[in-house]
Amino acid sequence: MTSQANAIRPQATPGIWSGTFALASRELVRFFRQRTRVIGAIGQPIIFWVLFGAGLRGSFQSPEWASNLEQPLTYQEYFFPGIAVLIVMFTAIFSTISIIEDRREGFLQGVLAAPVPRSVIVLGKVLGGTVLAVIQAGLFLMVGPLLSYVGLSPGLQIEVGLLQGIFAVIFLTLIAVELTSLGFLIAWPMNSTQGFHAIMSIFLMPMWLLSGAFFPGGGSGWLSWIIRLNPLTYGVAGLRRLLYSGDLPVTDSLPSLPVCVLVTAVFGLACFAISAALVSRPTSHNVT
């Protein structure tokens, strides 16, 4: 019996990765077959960027960390990293809400009964959502500066070089893992898409709004503390540091890049670990 068990164990790892890639590829195929998801995940943030940039351009005041720049920071430039993170968040929401649909259709029960660890579900969903998020946000980083040449985003002076782009994509991957794991953690105990949208409205969107993506979060008071405690603040700040060309004069109001990487990685790992623990439970109690 022992020899037979030992002979079976080496086959477990290939089963984990094959199951993970199968679930991830399923997410990719499902996404590209649904054109409305592609349009919604990319089109809506770009519309936000163009419209809010045009409407708030005159009333925008540069934050403290950008006060020493040779050329004043425009709102389009300030909002640019926040929109990239918004695309990642929308993709994470759309990719993890499929968990509820898979449970209703019976697909999730079939995966749970398969002879692979239950953590494969988390790995597959997070990998698929991360790839989709990075593809879409990466496209925006390339297309966004081109909009300034046609007059849709006047004042945008961001020019992303090759090395900057590589580091920005790597950091976007870290943010995508963080937000997709968080979305999985929220969606797993639910059996209602309406409940998921409610959580998104009262938790995920305010989380993005209070990350410094939409407006500067300096100053003092209770709002500034919420912004500092928000883990997504460090994702937006880290991406902001990587995208802005040249030297960026900063103060303590903008977190350093090592701190941004550390906070984003720790929070993403924590969400992933909790999600894996929930999935590995023998029984789960679903709530609306």
Tens digits of residue pLDDT in 159-183 = 566 777 788 889 999 999 999 999 9
Q: Among 128, 61, 68, which Cα is nearest to 98's?
A: 128
Average pLDDT over residues 22-47: 74
Q: What pLDDT shows up at residue 3?
A: 44
Of residues 141 and 44, the one with the higher pLDDT is 141
pLDDT band at 71 (very low <50, low <70, confident <90, very high): low
Task: Evaluate whether 128 touches 26 at the Cβ level (below 8 Å).
Answer: yes
CA distance 97 to 192: 9
pLDDT at 286: 46
Q: Token pair of 205, please?
A: 């969107």
Res 201 pLDDT > 50: yes
pLDDT at 252: 56
> pTM score > 0.85 for this model?
no
Burial class from Cβ neighbours inside 10 Å (0-12, 13-18, 19+) for residue 264 reads buried
Contacts of 159 (CB under 8 A, 6+ apart): 145, 245
Cβ contact 262:235 at 8 Å: no
Mean pLDDT across 14-40? 72
Bigger pLDDT: 225 vs 63: 225
Average pLDDT over residues 50-61: 68
Task: Name every residue whose Cβ is closer than 8 Å to that of residue 97 and which is 6 or more positions away in sequence.
Answer: 183, 187, 193, 196
| Whole-number pLDDT of residue 197 | 81
Check residue 286 and give left, alpha or beta (phi > 0: left; psi -120 to 50: alpha). beta
Q: What percent of the chain has pLDDT over 70?
A: 68
Structure tokens at 87: 């695309």
